[in-house]
């Protein structure tokens, strides 16, 4: 195991992580430490329904952090997380370790399944594109195990994703770096995170067969 922690008061060290804000907003939330998880802080006057993308105050609930040590080559990232309304805790892979997100991938959990977003800059403007999705019904308030496996092979670079066991995969651009930074993001609602780990164990044999060298 490369890294693992539990988001209990004594189970993780904040110095291991870099807090990151979105380039779309100047505002950023903070973590509230609970007994067995962390949760993004909301302003008292903000209705969760007003936190979804495109609303004026979305950035006030957005909070991302990256583990400071880079992961190299193939890796498996997991977190147990929950959304209390509709969305949207996620695993993030970033090209750079910086206080403001630059190009990155988001494996996003919400009540209708998983979305895979590619965030990048187009002529200096933050832009994003949906490059994968999987429809399923997921229950709000229930902890879910979100998994993302980055696989680098001679056939290309792939990202395999899943929640509570099932998996699907997609090919990444060939210029995705061999070294990147992994972390979590809370946005568009109250998001709880219970744990986080980075390892190199593969647990998707069907995908392994399809992308093997």
pLDDT tens column, 25-51: 887 889 999 999 999 998 888 887 777
Rounded distance, CA 101 to CA 35, Å? 29
Ranges 74-83, 179-188, 198-207: which has the least confidence: 198-207
Domain that includes residue 120, residue range:
3-211
Q: What are the tokens at 15?
A: 């110095």
Domain count along the chain: 1
Residue 82: pLDDT above 70?
yes
Q: What are the tokens at 86?
A: 């509709």
Cα angle, residue 68 at apex, residues 64 and 74 outer, rounded to 5°: 95
Asked if 95 contacts 150 with a C-beta cutoff of 8 angstroms, the reply is no
The reported pTM is 0.93
Rounded distance, CA 124 to CA 22, Å? 14
Q: Please state whether the peptide bond connecting residue 140 to the residue before it is cis, i.e. omega within 30 degrees of 0.
A: no
Asked if 41 contacts 50 with a C-beta cutoff of 8 angstroms, the reply is no
Running DSSP on this structure, what letter comes out for residue 205?
H
CATH number at residue 39: 2.60.120.200
For the chain, give the percent of residues with pLDDT over 90: 72
């Amino acid at each position: 195991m490369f890294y693992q922690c539990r988001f209990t008061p004594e189970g993780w060290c904040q110095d291991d992580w870099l807090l990151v804000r979105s380039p779309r907003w100047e505002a950023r939330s903070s973590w509230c430490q609970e007994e067995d998880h962390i949760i993004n802080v909301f302003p008292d006057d903000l209705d969760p329904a007003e936190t979804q993308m495109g609303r004026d105050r979305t950035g006030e609930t957005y909070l991302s952090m990256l583990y400071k040590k880079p992961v190299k080559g193939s890796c498996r990232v997991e977190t147990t997380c929950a959304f209390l309304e509709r969305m949207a805790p996620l695993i993030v892979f970033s090209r750079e370790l910086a206080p403001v997100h630059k190009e990155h991938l988001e494996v996003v959990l919400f009540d209708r399944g998983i979305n895979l977003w590619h965030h990048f800059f187009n002529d200096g403007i933050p832009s994003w594109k949906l490059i994968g999705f999987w429809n399923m019904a997921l229950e709000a308030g229930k902890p879910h195990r979100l998994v993302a496996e980055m696989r680098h092979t001679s056939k290309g670079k792939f990202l395999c994703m899943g929640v509570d066991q099932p998996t699907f995969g997609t090919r990444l651009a060939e210029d995705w770096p061999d070294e990147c930074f992994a972390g979590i993001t809370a946005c568009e609602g109250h998001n709880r995170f219970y744990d986080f780990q980075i390892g190199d164990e593969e647990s998707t044999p069907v995908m392994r067969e399809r992308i093997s060298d």
